[in-house]
């Protein structure tokens, strides 16, 4: 038995999210079915973090145990062939110790959110960004983002369906920068609440539009009340960037 660490890239558009669902396709299901077809074994995939419907992955980390003898190269090649035409790719497959776990060994997660900030709607980037035609004040959003960094009760920015035992999290960083026609939000923490990144981005966009002040964001955070949330951004612009492990 070999435990394989997989790095996965995927377009979340056609899926109901990473995790298997009874009501639609998932990234997990696609990969597990490909592994079963390749090895003849029932596969159980574990990942570093679940993603919602429409959220994308640049380098999601997952692991799976496989009894069949196979090299990492052959595992990648075989799975990528079997995954077609689903928009999922295995970027790498590396053997790891039996005690290593994609979720529980992870000590940090990074996300990117992309806003296309121009008048014209997206064509090539449709489904890959959130289109906001009104010009955004990036400096004001960056100032407001500082109120969200650090250890807080993030109830305001937490989905009512969140299953986390506590709303308290430490947000390591939330950087806002203009990149050409886009505004990028780079977010890092050990772990996140359900919809936390999308809720923070949506609320910060109100600051960028001049509808909220940076102080309003602080007051919303301190309220610890989901009713005080400004806006929940759509999933299209959200990307799981990286899972961080001790050896890195």
Residue among 72, 69, 53 at smallest CA distance from 6:
72
Residue among 57, 44, 49 at smallest CA distance from 11:
57
CA–CA separation, 56 and 25 (whole Å): 14
Q: Are 156 and 232 in contact (CB under 8 A)?
A: no
Catalytic residue selected from 11, 22, 52, 97: 52
DSSP character string of 155-223? GGGS-TT---S-SEEEEEEEEEEEETTEEEEEEEES---TTHHHHHHHHHHHHHTTSS-HHHHHHHHHH
Residue among 164, 239, 238 at smallest CA distance from 202:
238
> For residue 54, what are the CA distances in angstroms to 48, 63, 76, 186?
17, 22, 24, 18
Tokens of 126: 């449709």
Residues in the chain: 248
By three-state DSSP, how is residue 102 classified?
coil
Listed in sequence order, the residues at least 6 apart from 46 whose beta carbon sits closer than 8 Å to its beta carbon are 62, 63, 64, 101, 102, 103
52 tagged catalytic: yes
Tokens of 8: 């996965």
Catalytic residue list: 52
């Amino acid at each position: 038995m070999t435990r394989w660490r997989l790095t996965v890239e995927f377009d979340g558009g056609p899926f109901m999210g990473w995790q298997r669902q009874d009501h639609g396709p998932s990234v997990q299901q696609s990969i597990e079915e490909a592994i079963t077809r390749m090895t003849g074994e029932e596969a159980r995939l574990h990942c570093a973090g679940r993603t919602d419907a429409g959220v994308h992955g640049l380098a999601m980390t997952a692991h799976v145990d496989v009894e069949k003898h196979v090299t990492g190269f052959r595992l990648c090649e075989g799975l990528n062939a079997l995954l077609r035409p689903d928009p999922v790719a295995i970027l790498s497959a590396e053997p790891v110790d039996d005690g290593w776990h994609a979720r529980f060994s992870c000590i940090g997660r990074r996300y990117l959110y992309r806003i296309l900030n121009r008048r014209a709607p997206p064509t090539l980037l449709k489904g890959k960004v959130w289109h906001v035609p009104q010009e955004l004040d990036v400096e004001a959003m960056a100032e407001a983002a500082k109120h969200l960094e650090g250890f807080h009760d993030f109830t305001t920015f937490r989905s009512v369906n969140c299953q986390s035992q506590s709303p308290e999290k430490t947000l390591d960083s939330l950087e806002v920068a203009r990149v050409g026609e886009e505004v990028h939000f780079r977010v890092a923490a050990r772990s996140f609440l359900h919809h936390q990144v999308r809720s923070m981005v949506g609320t910060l966009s109100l600051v960028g539009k001049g509808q909220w002040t940076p102080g309003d964001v602080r007051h919303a955070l301190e309220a610890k009340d989901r009713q005080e949330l400004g806006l929940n951004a759509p999933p299209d612009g959200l990307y799981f960037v990286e899972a961080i492990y001790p050896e890195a």
